[in-house]
Amino acid sequence: MTNPTACLLIIGNEVLSGRTKDANLQFLGTRLGELGIPLREVRVIPDVPDVIVDTVNAVRARFTYVFTTGGIGPTHDDITAECIARAFGVPWEQHPEAMALMAADYARRDPPVEFNAARQRMATMPRGATLIANPVSVAPGFIIGNVHVMAGVPRIMQGMFEQLAPTLKGGTPVQMRAVHAHGLLEGRIAEELGQIQKRFPAVEIGSYPYYREAGGGVALVAKGTDVAALEAAVAEIAAFVAGLGFEPVSGEPK
Amino acid sequence: MTNPTACLLIIGNEVLSGRTKDANLQFLGTRLGELGIPLREVRVIPDVPDVIVDTVNAVRARFTYVFTTGGIGPTHDDITAECIARAFGVPWEQHPEAMALMAADYARRDPPVEFNAARQRMATMPRGATLIANPVSVAPGFIIGNVHVMAGVPRIMQGMFEQLAPTLKGGTPVQMRAVHAHGLLEGRIAEELGQIQKRFPAVEIGSYPYYREAGGGVALVAKGTDVAALEAAVAEIAAFVAGLGFEPVSGEPK
């Protein structure tokens, strides 16, 4: 059985311009791997309606799950929800449950916050959407079809994702094993490493040089859903590294 | 005159799995903006040949410049160069100039490093490629058509990019001005901010809430190539924020 797949759309000019350093890719890549829904593609796109609509439609046809981050706040540049309504060809309208949740929250604050038109936009969603609870700041995300729309602020996005996680139909968790060797150059091991990769087609072996103040080396990372194959591959890699006179250390370099 | 556009392809399973935190997007987004070649899209894709070939062909037709990072080392998972040769329909073959550079470098080291088959792969490129010098570790990147192929290791990528930068035909630099206001909620200013955006169509105004130990607020960022319009827009934003009784502070929140 093959695993479901995921695609992440990071929506926002501020990431493309370099103003904001994205912190959501790494979190979601890790968490989705653990759930057996490996992240297979990420696109970072600007706050341009046609680009958002076309991209959502292109990727929702190709991946089991699509996740989006960003563009669901109250300001003019928050256009994700209306673009996703357009992508699905459904009206963009006030969501009664989101309206009720947010009205109650704003009324409860001291002093109460006005639930003005701009804030009501955050409760305006594609018709048919179901909500993703926001345990941090109330204004919810939503799901329509296989598209899961979340906030861009990392703490809020993570809160939403953990609400969502138990509802996703995951696959076999992707596991990772690593060894590293100080002082070893990638170019020296490339040939044999390629041979090991060929003997373990179900394992994805990656080779990553690293550079530290105390000197560099190479990290060799095996990933896959078949734990026995994973451990056999890493054992072969470690034996090969040791045979060259380097110490294979379990795990990633610190 | 409209500016040229850029797309970045980040190639590598290690970024999608969450193992490696990408550090190239923010650097390139910033530098390309300064050169007047705004980054309009980023895709993070896996080490899968068909995906790389199809993605390169899709984006090189749509953007003025394409930059890639990752997948040009000596190991079996470094497949960027051969995939780009396939995308352009040209042979993937040893590049005489790259071979000569690398052979000389390896011979010069103490002790000399063997220029073995795996290392020679790093000098194997699409026919017709021109080199991008690598001031850090010699093995060069390359250019074919509008596609610029660079290393994934940030220090090496940055070294390559700075070699490349003076050769790129840039446009009008994208400038940024920001004000922020502590304690101000986005939802309170959204309506009027949208009006200001409408009055300055050539300026891209973004609103970004921030959260700090010392309390949150909102950063209001104006971007564009028309500096006079930019400064007029920011002055209006600052006056509006001050009118609400908040102090508009120049620049981004610390």
Specify the long-range contacts of residues A166-171, CB closer than 8 Å, at least 24 apart.
Answer: A168/A35, A168/A37, A168/A65, A169/A4, A170/A3, A170/A4, A170/A35, A170/A36, A170/A37, A171/A1, A171/A2, A171/A3, A171/A4, A171/A35, A171/A36, A171/A37, A171/A225
Evaluate the CA torsion angle A10, A11, A13, A14 in order and state its sign.
Answer: negative
Contacts of A122 (CB under 8 A, 6+ apart): A72, A73, A74, A78, A98, A102, A139, B187
Contacting residues of A for B73, CB less than 8 Å apart: 186, 190, 207, 209
Closest residue in chain A to residue B74, using alpha carbons only: A187
Tell whether A193 is within 8 A of chain B (Cβ). Answer: yes
For residues A147-159, average pLDDT: 97
pLDDT value of position B2: 86
pLDDT value of position B111: 86
Question: What is chain B's alpha carbon radius of gyration, rounded to the nearest angstrom?
Answer: 22
Low-confidence ranges of chain B (pLDDT < 70): 1
pLDDT value of position B214: 83
pLDDT value of position A15: 97
* Side-chain half-sphere exposure of B242, counting CA atoms within 13 A: 10
d(CA B225, CA B87): 34
Would you place residue A227 in the very low, low, confident or very high pLDDT band (cuts 50, 70, 90)?
A: very high
- Residue among A69, A79, A72 at smallest CA distance from A44: A69
A1, pLDDT greater than 80? no
Tell whether B191 is within 8 A of chain A (Cβ). Answer: yes
For residues A5-31, average pLDDT: 97
Which B residues 65-104 touch A at CB under 8 Å? 73-77
Q: Which two tokens stand for residue A138?
A: 């109330």
| CB-closest option in A45, A176, A221 to B41 | A45
pLDDT value of position B254: 82
pLDDT value of position B1: 61
User: Can you list the domains of chain A with their CATH numbers?
Assistant: 6-167 (3.40.980.10), 175-250 (3.30.70.2860)
Q: How large a percentage of chain A has pLDDT more than 70?
A: 100
d(CA A211, CA B200): 46
pLDDT value of position B110: 87
A226, pLDDT greater than 70? yes
Instruction: With beta carbons less than 8 A apart as the criterion, state whether B218 and B180 touch.
Output: yes
Contacting residues of B for A119, CB less than 8 Å apart: 187, 190
pLDDT value of position B171: 95
CB contact under 8 A, B14 and A208: yes
| CB-closest option in A20, A21, A43 to B43 | A43
Note the pLDDT tens digit of each residue in A82-126.
999 999 999 999 999 999 999 999 999 988 899 999 999 999 999
Which comes out higher in pLDDT, residue B110 or A54?
A54
Closest residue in chain A to residue B76, using alpha carbons only: A194
A32, pLDDT greater than 70? yes
